[in-house]
Amino acid sequence: MRDASISLDTIRIFLHVLSVCVWVGGQFVMLALLPVLRGAGVEGLPKQAAQAFQRVAWPAFAVAFFTGIWNIFEVDMANTTTRYSVIFGIKFLLVVASGAAAWVHAVSTKPAIKGMTGGLGFVAGIVAILLGFALTHG
Ligand code: HEM
């Protein structure tokens, strides 16, 4: 019989996934809006929109990071397979790459660097989601 309840575990995973939705989902939205923002012909509008996204994206990344550490304390890591640890390790590296690439993307003034790091951060975040579900539903 499948049951449902809202426990502290539910809140932990809810906050982890919600913050990830903002971090990665927001990048999908920014990508979709960019051509429209550029086409509006308003000087600096894409940059203003990107800065507005950053004001929610970085707090979301921080919440994903801290709930991730909380996750580690709640998962009995001593009782996991080598494969679980390897997938967690790769996911953690991708999370760090996602954050670092997004930061370089935000501060760089070179279009080539901005483009490359924007793509890298985006893809790293998406693969981190897949590996996150591999950890919990694998
Ligand atoms: C952009 C950053 C991150 C993304 C996209 C992400 C994504 C995910 C997803 C989608 C899940 C599965 C949740 C579910 O099954 O409902 C998950 C679980 C997990 N994440 Fe993350 N995560 C991120 C950051 C982190 C960080 C920084 C850590 C560790 C420091 C971490 C540790 C974990 C752990 C241990 C689980 C398994 C939780 C459990 O089994 O209860 N995550 N993550």
SS3 string of 68-136? HHHHHHHCCHHHCCHHHHHHHHHHHHHHHHHHHHHHHHHHCCCHHHHHHHHHHHHHHHHHHHHHHHHHH
For the segment 25-40, what is each residue's pLDDT rounded down to a tens digit? 999 999 999 999 999 9
pLDDT > 70 fraction of the chain, expressed in percent and rounded? 100
Closest CA to 68 of 84, 91, 87: 91
Residue 15 falls within a domain, yes or no? yes
For the segment 45-85, what is each residue's pLDDT rounded down to a tens digit? 999 999 999 999 999 999 999 999 999 999 888 889 999 99
Residue 117 falls within a domain, yes or no? yes
Residue 3 falls within a domain, yes or no? no
Residue 1 falls within a domain, yes or no? no
**Is the pLDDT reported for residue 138 higher than 80?**
no
Residue 121 falls within a domain, yes or no? yes
Residue 104 falls within a domain, yes or no? yes
Structure tokens at 93: 């590296």
The Å distance, Cα 132 to ligand 1 centre, comes to 5
Q: What is the pLDDT of residue 76?
A: 83
Residue 105 falls within a domain, yes or no? yes
- Ligand 1 atom with the smallest distance to the CA of 23 is 1
Domains: count for the chain: 1
Ligand 1 environment, Cβ below 6 A = 13, 16-17, 20, 23-24, 64-65, 68-69, 71-72, 74-75, 92, 95, 98, 125, 128-129, 132-133, 135-137
Mean pLDDT taken over the chain: 95
Backbone φ and ψ for 126, nearest 5 degrees, come out as -65, -45
The pTM of the full predicted model, rounded to 2 decimals, is 0.91
- Ligand 1 atom with the smallest distance to the CA of 99 is 1
Residue 37 domain boundaries: 8-137
Residue 51 falls within a domain, yes or no? yes
Q: Give, using CA atoms, the residue closest to atom 27 of ligand 1.
A: 65
The Å distance, Cα 70 to ligand 1 centre, comes to 10
